[in-house]
Amino acid sequence: MPQSTSSPPPRACTDASETPQRGTPNMSSSSSELASLKIKLHKSLRQFPDFPTPGVLFEDILPLFSNPVLHQAFIRALELLIRTNYPEGQRPDVVVGLEARGFLFGPSLALRLGAGFVPVRKQGKLPGPTETASYEKEYGADFFQIQADAIKQGQKVLVVDDIVATGGSAAAAGSLVKKLGGVLLGYVFILELDFLKGREKLDAPTYTLLSSQSNSLEKT
């Protein structure tokens, strides 16, 4: 689906390094810091060939969380990515994290941004009234749910997850945000599988923190 080029938030970028330069010294300093952090973070990722099945190259993000210095750098990089692309007044009130890896960094990022955190979970995992959205997986449909009172009318919402693959699960989360009356600002991921063209299913600006993956890589 084509990305909107209307008023803020700005156009989607494949990678944080492609974000628009606003020409102020403060923004220039943030961009330099972000570029340095990206190099540091990317070096910490591990790749496992033929996992979970032959022919798949698996990108392991867990080292980002095993070291407190790396963990702090990772959250700082996400904060800079968002502050660079979303001006004051257009930053999120709520960060929505997808089950399960969106739970690893969504709450910390929300705290850093002064926002609330809301989980989107598989069907049957949340108590109380919920809203449901379906999405297609390789072997059939699956369902995401969000608590019906989790997002208030008009709140600005950012959806986060580790990797955008086919885009179905993220699109389902975005639809839940809009069902509850939230304003969907965009999607933020650590990595992207370009060859699966998942961002074409996403109807809001989409950003990836680290270099996109164009070879055989699969999200489990």
Token code pair at residue 104: 């690893």
pLDDT at res. 217: 38
Which among 219, 135, 211, 140 is positioned nearest to 173, based on CA atoms? 135
pLDDT at 119 over 90: yes
Contact (CB, 8 A) for 196 and 213: no
DSSP 8-47: SS----SSGGGSPP---HHHHHHHHHHHHHHHHHHHH-EE
Which range marks the domain in which residue 54 is found?
Answer: 16-208
Spatial distance between the Cα atoms of 174 and 118, rounded to a whole number of angstroms: 12
- What is the model's pLDDT at position 212? 65
Hey, which residues does 121 pair with through a beta bridge? 145
Q: What's the rounded mean pLDDT across residues 67-88?
A: 97
Q: Is residue 48 part of a domain?
A: yes
Q: Is 216 contained in some domain?
A: no
Q: Identify residue 54 by its one-letter amino acid code.
A: P
Q: Characterise 63 by phi-psi region: left (phi > 0), alpha (psi -120 to 50), beta (else).
A: alpha
Q: Is residue 9 part of a domain?
A: no
pLDDT at 24: 44
Over the stretch 211-220, which tens digit does the pLDDT of each residue have? 766 543 333 3
Asked, for residue 91, whether it belongs to a domain, the answer is yes
Q: Find the CATH number of the domain harbouring 114.
A: 3.40.50.2020
* Inside any domain, residue 167: yes
pLDDT on residue 57 = 85
> Is the bond preceding residue 110 a cis peptide, omega within 30 degrees?
no
**171 has a pLDDT exceeding 90:** yes
More reliable by pLDDT, 139 or 95: 95
| Buried b / exposed e along 97-113 (16+ C-beta atoms within 10 A) | bbbebbbbbbbbbbebb
Q: Is residue 50 part of a domain?
A: yes
- Helix/strand/coil for 154: coil
Mean pLDDT value of segment 114-136: 97
* Nearest alpha carbon to residue 105 among 91, 93, 119: 119
Does any domain span residue 4?
no
pTM reported for the whole predicted model: 0.84
Total structural domains within the chain: 1
pLDDT digits (tens, 9 = 90+) for 182-192: 999 999 999 99
The whole-number pLDDT of residue 158 equals: 98
Whether residue 2 lies inside any domain: the answer is: no
